[in-house]
Amino acid sequence: MDGERAAGRSVGLVPTMGFLHEGHASLVDAAVADNDVTVVSIFVNPLQFAPGEDLADYPRDLAADLEVCALHGADLVFHPTVDEMYPEAGMSAVEVGEVARPLEGASRPTHFPGVAAAAARLFGILGACSAYFGEKDFQQLAVVRRMVADLSMPVEVVGCPIVREVDGLALSSRNVYLTAAERAEAPVLHRALRAGAAVVSAGERDPAAVVSLMAGLIGRAVTAELDYAAVVRPDTFATPSLLGGPGHEVRLLVACRFGRARLIDNMAAVSP
C-alpha cells in the first residue's frame, strides 16, 4: 500500500472474520465511497476465542465472501493464514485498558486482547488507512479506538451504523445458529433497547430502572438467557450514577444467549 499512498491515493480497510452479510457489505460500501483503494481482510482470529467457544464451528464461506467483496467494489481481499498473521511463535495478545474491562470484557476476558492483537497486526501490515467497524460491536469499536490513540497509530477508526433485519434483529454471522423458535424471539433485544431508549428520552434518571426494564422484557422470551443489560457512558463504559442533562447521551447494551448463539446489540439514548 506504500505505493498507493505515495501516489496520493487513500486506503480503506474493512477487517472481518468472513461469512459476510449485508452489515459487512455496508462497511465495504462506506470504505469504497471514502477511499481510492479498499481492502477487505477475512481472518477468523483464534486469539479472540476462549476455550470452549465456537472457533472450530464459526461459519465460513470464502467463495461467497469473495462475491460480496467484488459486488461492492473492494479492490483487494487479504485472507491470511494464522501463521501469516502471527509468524512469531506464542505471540501475545495485546493488553487493553479500562474500556475493555466491563461487559464483554468481563464475560469473555480473552476476547478484547485477541481483537486488539489482530487489529494491531492488520494496521501494521497495511499502514496508514481508514478502518471501518460496525457499531453493533460497540465496545470493540471503543477498544480499537483507544488502542489506536494510545499507540499513535496512523489509522482513522470509522464507526458505521448497525444494519438490521426488518424485525429489528441486528445482522450477525452467528444468527445462522438460531433455530426457528430462537429466531422468532431474538428481536426482543432490539425491542428492549428501544424501550430503554424511550424511557431515557422521557426523562428517566435512574440507570438501574432502565436496566431493569430491558432485562424484564428480554426475560419474557422463553429461549433467551440474558448475559447482561447495561447503561454506560459511550466514552468510558462506566455506568453513570444518574442520567441527566439535556442532550446527555448514554449507550444501552445487551448480550443474550439463544441456544448456541450469543448475540449482542446496543443503541444510543439521549436525555431530554
Annotated active-site positions, please? 24
Cell of 113: 486482547
Query: CA–CA separation, 272 vs 246, rounded Å?
Result: 5
Q: What is the C-alpha separation between 270 and 272, in angstroms, rounded?
A: 7
